[in-house]
Structure 1
Amino acid sequence: PDDPLSLLTDRERDVLELMAEGRTNKAISERLAIAERTVEKHCTGIFGKLGLEAGPHDHRRVLAVLRYLNA
């Protein structure tokens, strides 16, 4: 797709929006009233859908937020 953000579920978008506010996984879990492990699963989904693979020098969280902010 032209816009990989369109692949995100509503909840993944909620998580990404809170990531963009600089919130930690713990803070996101408290804000959304979900388990911190669930936030981690959403982050994994976000990274996968945005094509952000894990690497030793990649900051996937920052890259995901940048894509969100530039959309």
Structure 2
Amino acid sequence: MNRFVSNLPASFPVASGKVRLRGALIEIDETTGHALRITRVDEPGAIESAATEPEPRIDIEQAPSPEQT
């Protein structure tokens, strides 16, 4: 919350445990600027969060050179 109050950049910790996507979709009338519909979004994340997936490893010696690609 401090990030939004102070308008200064702040880092967020990586999520662990059950991950969810939460937010709202707002359909707006372009002529009036009023909201026509507000839909709540609450979706479960993947079984494993991205934080637990290992980084892909590339063997530099085995990687193709730019001329080969």
Normalised TM-score (structure 1):
0.18
| Higher relative contact order (Cα pairs below 8 Å, separated by 6+ residues) | 1
Return the index of the structure with the highest Cα Rg. Answer: 2
User: Of Structure 1 and Structure 2, which has the larger fraction of its residues in strand?
Assistant: 2
TM-score (norm 2): 0.18
Larger helix proportion of the pair: 1
